Structure 1
Amino acid sequence: MQDLTLPAARTERDQLAGRTDVLDKVGVLRTLPDDMNLTTPMVAEFYQIDADLVRYHVKSNRDEFDSDGYRVVVRAAFESEFGSLSNLDPKVRQVALFPRRAALRLGMLLRDSEVARRVRDMLLDVERADATVHFLIPKTLPEALRAYATEVEAHELTTARAEAAETSNRVLVSRIEKDAPLVAKAEAHTASITWIHRQDFAREVKQWGVGRGIVISHEHVYELLRRKKMMIAGDRSDRNQASSHAITAGWARNTKGTAENGHEYVTTRISPRGQDVAWKWITAHVEQFGTLAPQEVSA
């Protein structure tokens, strides 16, 4: 694969633009409440660069960003979709929106960003892993024996590396849980493997906060999940139940039941994947504000 930052690498960038999962593997991506779009300052924050550099690359490669869904909306349309931003300049009349694909494309274009370099390195690793391996059919018995020996050796090496990585990860998890106050289970790859009730999840987050001197209430957790559209908001009977977006994404589900007295109820449970996503939102919020108490959405 050629250098992704080169103008001639447009085809390669197009082919890799869908691997937005790489962004979450490299760092915590702060998004708007829909968990899909970012503003220019958010993109600049992720790549640790100046916002003007973001605008420069968009202007120089506008057709590429447009193909990823990049758009500029007037302030009224933005606030109608995402709400009012507390730190948005009153003079601003238009807001640029970057879907995750566009944010990833910027990482493939930036040269002077360590975060962008890590994004490209991971994309290269993904490309290598996805590459099709073509095997030659041995023509003689000695060739077949050599090929078999090579395959066995490669398998043993892969197994040894996997075991070493697992051991290393266990050590890392232990160290993170002890020493890094703002890293949660999802970041250390120790998330739950079972669906849990929303109250149990909130209780885990609350206990996590106690160990770090942070006062967290169930309502703090629910408000964040409502803002991120994992749970239903508003003054309505199904408040705090899993949203249709969360159900479609596989983050949560609602189960109806009937109590012995005939009263119908709904149980909301969060999936392992949903817990992983929620923990990332929680740690990012606490790292930025020092609390999980609701804050205004940043531009």
Structure 2
Amino acid sequence: MINESVLLESKSLRDSVLERTDVLDRVKALSLLPDGMHVTTAMVAAYFGVTIEVVRQLKTRHQEELFCNGVVTLRGSDLAEFKRDILSRFPGGYPQPRSSLTLYSRRAVLNVAMLLRDSDIARQVRTYLLDMEYLSRTRPVENTAPAQLAAPDDLDTRIDRRITQILGKTVVPMFNALIETSGEHRRELIELREDIQNVERKLCWHHRRISTLEGDTPTDQVRASIAAMTWQAFERHVADLLRRDGCMDVVVRQARSDRGIDITGRTADGRSVAVQCKNRAGAGRSSIPSADMQKFAGAARAVDHVDVALFVATCNFSHEAQVIADLSGVITVNRDELDAWTAGVHLKALR
């Protein structure tokens, strides 16, 4: 088992587990501001049981890494807007900053946990992270290769796809709503929702297995369906996939003056999401150029400071575009990954 202190020294290891923000609430409940997404420096200090000055010094030493993972400092009109729209909802409940306010996303708080040496809570978070990573790497993997599966004795026992639709469009959204409004039982609800989503994934897999045995080609069917969509329909399709994977407050902008952001929303654990959609199936282009990636990365990271930036395309990405995505933290979803996502595989970045 790897010692928890290794996270203090290895940025690559820290980057590999930054999506596991659920660990924070498993160790200790993290109180959020009324926007449901951020905490202040004082709230970070209270969570880890350290002084505000310790957090400020940590932010100064690791400024670049923390800002890449969701730390933002509001000033001027941005601060005034945040105070009016968020802090004013609870007058007296939160301090009213005068000149600036530093906010931490849940991802940034997890980043702090992996950098903060002198905090028992931070050490517990690091240990929990590495324990979960160890379990995920050593757990036996279910062999789902269709070629190694025997044909079912009776194809009349096929899975009814309506069950999957009920789970994805009714049960999971119900859990999302309960999670958003619950406090005391939030952790248990998240675990129950994950169980339901595991059932949904297995049902989708069984349906694809039977389709393959009967001579259908699910990937071709999915790709043909997406190719027939207008750009508006494609954006709505991606929005539905986000909701299926547990995202809340999903909004499709469907406007051309959006600075490259087509869809916004929040993950179940409160991270902000921005999505750029490109349906290039009928445009005659084989890849997404670097200019498109630069525009979206600038809007998502420099302007809106979102936690999860997704670029979803019906084609592949050019080498230059992928390099920009990797440097700016944009998660790319290419043609093959989109096919799998559409067919029922849940997107790792949203977990």
TM-score with structure 1 setting the length = 0.44
- Pick the structure with greater CA Rg: 1
Structure showing greater relative contact order (alpha-carbon pairs closer than 8 Å, 6 or more residues apart): 1
TM-score with structure 2 setting the length = 0.38
